Amino acid sequence: MRVRRGLGWASLATAASLATACATPVGVDRASPRDVHRELTENALSSDRASAATREFLTRASLVQRWKDEPDETLLALHRELAPAGDLDRLFALAELSFVRAERTNDPSHALAAALYAYAFLFGDDGDPAWRALDPFDPRIQVARHLYNRGLTLGLADSREGVVDLSSKRRALPFGALDVASSPADFVWAGWSLVRFAPAADYRVRGLDNRYRKAGIGAPLAAHLGEEMTPSPAGALVAPRLRVPVTAFLRVDDVRAQLASGRVRGRLEVYSEDERSELVVHGEAVPVELEKSSSLAYMLEGAPIWDFGLLGFRLGDYLPGRSERLVLLHPYIPGRIPLVLVHGTFSSPATWAQMVNELENDPGISKRYQPWLFIYNSGNPVVYSAGLLSEALQKVVASLDPQGADAALRRMVIVGHSQGGLLTKLMTVHSGDVFWNNIARKPIDEVDLDPDSRALLQRSMFYEPLPFVKRVVFMATPHHGSYLSDFRVTSWISRLVKLPARITKLTLDVAMKGGDEFYLSALDRKPTSLDNMASNNKALRALAALPVAPGIAYHSIIAVRGDGPWEDGGDGVVKYRSARLEGAASEKVVKSGHSVQMTQEGIQEVRRILVEHAAAAD
């Protein structure tokens, strides 16, 4: 007995020890705060299961197992039991569970149901006390907004085409039907028809530092341009491959009553940022969801403009697409200051994508400025390209505002990178005959030339400050030459350039008619831009000596690589001493290679200058 009693106490002690070591039925386990946060905030949009709020509702309604076994029947039962007002927990659960079902089955009817339930949760009856009492910090509000936006995108998707279908038609719902009405007027932008609406949510963005999204309501889309329906000077300048960021919004009146009836009617509205930045729903102003970064990247995906950098350098007459030299990313908007961006050598307007993305998504800048892109063949002589820039700007300003009523149009800012900075400076100087005297012994009026040759020489050799240009920014500009242009290999590269037929014709005309009136030795080999940017080039030296005209502010952004003294440094193409201009309103040195226009430090300096310019205009 003594042995049995001892064994009994030992068994009890062992059992107590084991019980102490085991987890209690209710308790906690230590976990990473990140994992805990993820568990608390996950929802159908970010994981493969519904949010905690919806799971709680299913638990209280004893529907957890039924949802797993009979999801469609569960949704129909929840829909039938939806009260005519209030019942927000059920309404939100219906929205989220319908979205879960849509993703699992790829059924657009469930996606549209999710959007309608979310709409009812967000924009309930103003007289509903439950809706009025909804806590603004309730996390379900933001989830419902995303469920509406994504549900609408999925519900209208045309999976065969990779776009959404915004046409008027009847669409199926799990509990009935949705009649969607849209207006053809909504599919017109700046005189162009809008076609093929690609959902922004379907694409990742690469190549841009930031992907910006303006939070709000609606499905963000990127629209293709169709036909130009109402031709105009501004419409002709819009980039033909432009992808217009727009938002689709389905408006439903008396949504709770229509949900109960099973027959829902909605009006599909389409807005661009140029038209509207917010909506009014039940008397409340609601911001519109918009994605501009994805539309910009979508436009540049596979675009021929990427090949223009090399082709445009080698082939002096080549232009991709239409022949306009100025390209607009918006229709002309009176009251906004033109921001003209001029690319450099071996380059194209596509190299401004990073800067356009940052500035277009800065509300303070985008409301004050309209970006214009200049395209030119960077192998052509600098003065030839600058003449094209001057001509294009004068022509566009005159056509857009012939009465001179828009003061902002005459507060223009030009930003030039590398060779583009040399073109930019020529918009700001009184050249007199300094360029002409490099090639001719007599005034141009005394030289016998055909009218076309005379006009080309007049445009390329004689400059006056453009009266509507008030500020310029030089980025990595070789004012005193690029040391790469001084290398012997540069002469070999220059021989690969096929200059425009107009320049060839001009050279022949000068050789045949000019006689002793021209320094023909200067035209033995038609100069390219690389020749023009050599430090000993006469035209470059003449331009460097010309001051920027009074009344035009100018700024320098200079790139320097490495950690040594920047006064002795350079960016690999242009040295600091060549890029520097005395008298600049500001000078910013950026640790960067030559492509400083793509760096955040360079972009933010341009932004600072633009803010300063807008303040001065005010």
Whether 309 and 180 map to the same domain: the answer is no
Give the DSSP letter of residue 549. P
Half-sphere exposure of 111 (CA within 13 A, CB side): 22
What is the predicted pLDDT for the residue at 21? Answer: 55
Whether 351 and 473 map to the same domain: the answer is yes
Under 8 Å between Cβ of 344 and 477: no
Q: How far is CA 330 from the centre of its chain?
A: 11
Last residue of a domain, one of 244, 261, 289: 289
Whether 189 and 237 map to the same domain: the answer is yes
Helix boundaries (H) for 315-408: 353-360, 363-366, 382-400
- DSSP for 453-469 reads HHHHHHHHH-----TTE
For residue 391, how many other CB atoms are within 10 A of its CB?
Answer: 13
What is the predicted pLDDT for the residue at 421? Answer: 97
Radius of gyration of the chain (CA): 33
| pLDDT means over runs of 10, the chain (618 residues) | 51 52 82 87 89 95 96 96 91 97 95 97 76 84 96 91 92 96 92 93 94 95 91 81 94 93 96 87 90 95 88 78 82 94 94 97 95 94 94 95 95 97 98 88 82 89 97 97 59 57 69 60 63 85 96 97 87 94 96 96 98 92
Whether 326 and 389 map to the same domain: the answer is yes
Whether 373 and 474 map to the same domain: the answer is yes
Whether 162 and 282 map to the same domain: the answer is yes
Tell me whether residue 18 is in a domain.
Answer: no
User: Which CA distances in Å does 363 have to 222, 304, 354, 366?
Assistant: 20, 30, 16, 5
What is the predicted pLDDT for the residue at 489? Answer: 46
Task: Report the C-alpha gap between 407 and 401 in whole angstroms.
Answer: 10
Whether 58 and 190 map to the same domain: the answer is no
Tell me whether residue 80 is in a domain.
Answer: yes
Tell me whether residue 422 is in a domain.
Answer: yes
Task: Indicate the pairing of strand 337-342 with strand 369-374.
Answer: parallel
Last residue of a domain, one of 154, 173, 205: 154
Task: Indicate the pairing of strand 278-281 with strand 469-475.
Answer: unpaired
- pTM for the complete prediction? 0.89
* Residue in the block written with tokens 């076609």: 195
Under 8 Å between Cβ of 145 and 217: yes
What is the predicted pLDDT for the residue at 528? Answer: 79
Under 8 Å between Cβ of 270 and 183: no
Tell me whether residue 419 is in a domain.
Answer: yes
Give the three-state DSSP class for 171: strand
Whether 269 and 376 map to the same domain: the answer is no
Q: Which amino acid is at 339?
A: L
Whether 472 and 428 map to the same domain: the answer is yes
Task: Report the C-alpha gap between 340 and 320 in whole angstroms.
Answer: 19
Tell me whether residue 35 is in a domain.
Answer: no
Here the tokens at position 484 are 């790469």
Cα-flanking dihedrals φ and ψ of residue 380, to 5°? -70, 160
What is the predicted pLDDT for the residue at 156? Answer: 96
What is the greatest pairwise CA distance in the chain?
A: 138
Task: Indicate the pairing of strand 469-475 with strand 553-560.
Answer: parallel
Under 8 Å between Cβ of 555 and 474: yes
Whether 276 and 317 map to the same domain: the answer is no
Task: Report the C-alpha gap between 593 and 476 in whole angstroms.
Answer: 9
Q: How many domains does the chain have?
A: 3
What is the enclosing helix (H) or strand (E) of 2? helix 2-21
Whether 236 and 337 map to the same domain: the answer is no
Here the tokens at position 36 are 């805990």
Tell me whether residue 38 is in a domain.
Answer: no
CATH code of 342's domain: 3.40.50.1820
Q: Is 124 exposed, middle or buried (0-12, 13-18, 19+ CB in 10 A)?
A: buried
Task: Report the C-alpha gap between 409 and 468 in whole angstroms.
Answer: 7
Last residue of a domain, one of 131, 154, 177: 154
Give the DSSP letter of residue 476. S
Tell me whether residue 98 is in a domain.
Answer: yes
What is the predicted pLDDT for the residue at 615? Answer: 94
Tell me whether residue 498 is in a domain.
Answer: no
Beta carbons within 8 Å of 34's beta carbon, 6+ residues apart? none
Give the three-state DSSP class for 416: strand
The total number of residues shown for the chain amounts to 618
What is the predicted pLDDT for the residue at 310? Answer: 83
What is the predicted pLDDT for the residue at 492? Answer: 44
Under 8 Å between Cβ of 115 and 251: no
Whether 132 and 170 map to the same domain: the answer is no
Beta carbons within 8 Å of 496's beta carbon, 6+ residues apart? 314
What is the predicted pLDDT for the residue at 591? Answer: 95
Range of the domain at 118: 49-154
Which residue, 101, 95, 100, 97, is CA-closest to 115? 95
Which residue, 274, 278, 201, is CA-closest to 242? 274
